[in-house]
Amino acid sequence: MTAFDIDELLDSSAIVVCCGAGGVGKTTTAASLALRAAERGRKVCVLTIDPARRLAQSMGLTELDNTPRAVAGLDEAQGGSLDAMMLDMKRTFDEIVLTHSDPQRAEQILANPFYVSLSSSFAGTQEYMAMEKLGQLKASETWDLIVVDTPPSRSALDFLDAPQRLGRFLDGRMIRLLLAPAKAGGRGVMKVFTAGLSVFTNILTRIIGAQALKDLSLFVTSLETMFGGFRERADQTYKLLKEPGTSFVVVAVPERDALREAAYFVDRLGAERMPLAGLVLNRVHTSTVDGLSVQRSLAAAEQLDDSGESPLTAATLRIHADRQAAAARDGHMAERFTAAHPGVGVVQVRAQSTDVHDLEGLRRIGTELAG
């Protein structure tokens, strides 16, 4: 099994993106990497796109939002710093509107009911905003390293598609049809359409109403004007993710479904030619007792049961047998993954006896990651 050097990764990267299935410790891994990098002397910002609040709790923050907040309790002996934030999708969207529109148009857009719906729940908006926020953080040149904790499951890589998906949305036939009323210069909805197109707008007007159709058309016009720049910035961020200073870390646990997801991530990143650093395999069971196999442990426990002696020792032997079996299973799963992906470096983190809920726990995970 090929390992990869976590400390070298943290010392040399400008962006580290952690991706993986849900429930594999991805948020904890991202926070641990960020903390270790900061205590090695780097200025770090960790951005989570996962709605869970565990990152805030682990870092002792009462709240985590769209503004980077300094993490207290950091060992600053090496001169590093650590800020943490959670992506606020709607606030990021609002910031784009305010930044790239004049005040009057921005007020119209923010009040438009279609904008309110789009900015809060439209499919793919989170990925668009994640791309935008990452680009903003990088462009500020405030931090040496940005660590990104992505959403769970395969949606974690949807932001790779953000520029293309946004382009398809803006260039779609429905959008072009809806642009026509707003481009008519106030001459009325129906006057700008051909006879065939009038049928479409008549139907749409009956469904959503004339005012709603006008609101939608005006919003789409504003969207097209404003998001031309966003599309360019998303393209730039996509290119940034492929540059040498960026590294992707796939996180998994030694379970069939999680490693299947990990294999998907590895293959997808390879197809996109994104720089993959390696795999973090969390919650790996290990045994510190060599030579005492599962079979020997169970046989010894059975003998003690038959003799009626040392029930506590028998119970301990059975616990050891369970751990040995779990360690063997985890090792087998890891070997299967590395056999299928021999070029992917792997670092293992032992299963912890307690949940990670503070900086000391994150430091412990960081030490495990660094081997």
**Whole-prediction pTM value?**
0.81
Give the span between the Cα atoms of 224 and 172, in whole angstroms: 11
The whole-number pLDDT of residue 169 equals 57
Task: Determine contact, residues 50/149, Cβ cutoff 8 Å.
Answer: yes
Does 83 score more than 50 pLDDT? Answer: yes
Spatial CB neighbours of 133, under 8 Å, sequence gap ≥ 6: 47, 66, 87, 92
Q: How confident is the model at residue 180 (pLDDT cuts 50, 70, 90)?
A: low
Type of residue at 21: A
Does 123 score more than 50 pLDDT? Answer: yes
Q: What is the pLDDT of residues 165-175, one digit of tens each?
A: 665 655 555 45
The whole-number pLDDT of residue 188 equals 44
Type of residue at 321: A
Which two tokens mark 1?
């099994």
- What number is the average pLDDT over the span 151-176? 61
Residue 232, φ and ψ in degrees, nearest 5:
-65, -40
Query: What does the DSSP assignment read for 12-56?
Result: H-SEEEEEE-TTSSHHHHHHHHHHHHHHTT-EEEEEE-S--SHHH
The whole-number pLDDT of residue 293 equals 74
The whole-number pLDDT of residue 265 equals 92
Query: What does the DSSP assignment read for 202-242?
Result: HHHHHHH-HHHHHHHHHHHHHHHHHHHHHHHHHHHHHHHTT
- 162 bridge partner residues: none
Q: What is the pLDDT of residues 8-49, one digit of tens each?
A: 999 999 999 999 888 899 889 999 999 999 999 999 999 987
Alpha helices in the chain, H assignment, sequence order: 6-12, 26-39, 54-58, 89-100, 103-111, 113-121, 125-140, 162-171, 173-182, 195-208, 210-240, 256-271, 294-307, 311-340, 359-369
Name the DSSP class of 193.
S
Superfamily holding 6-287+332-369: P-loop containing nucleotide triphosphate hydrolases (3.40.50.300)
Does 196 score more than 50 pLDDT? Answer: no
The whole-number pLDDT of residue 223 equals 62
Q: How confident is the model at residue 185 (pLDDT cuts 50, 70, 90)?
A: very low
Query: What separation in angstroms does the CA of 108 have from each of 211, 225, 346?
Result: 14, 14, 51
Of all residues in the chain, what percent carry a pLDDT higher than 70? 74
Type of residue at 256: R
The whole-number pLDDT of residue 309 equals 77
The whole-number pLDDT of residue 176 equals 53
The whole-number pLDDT of residue 194 equals 41
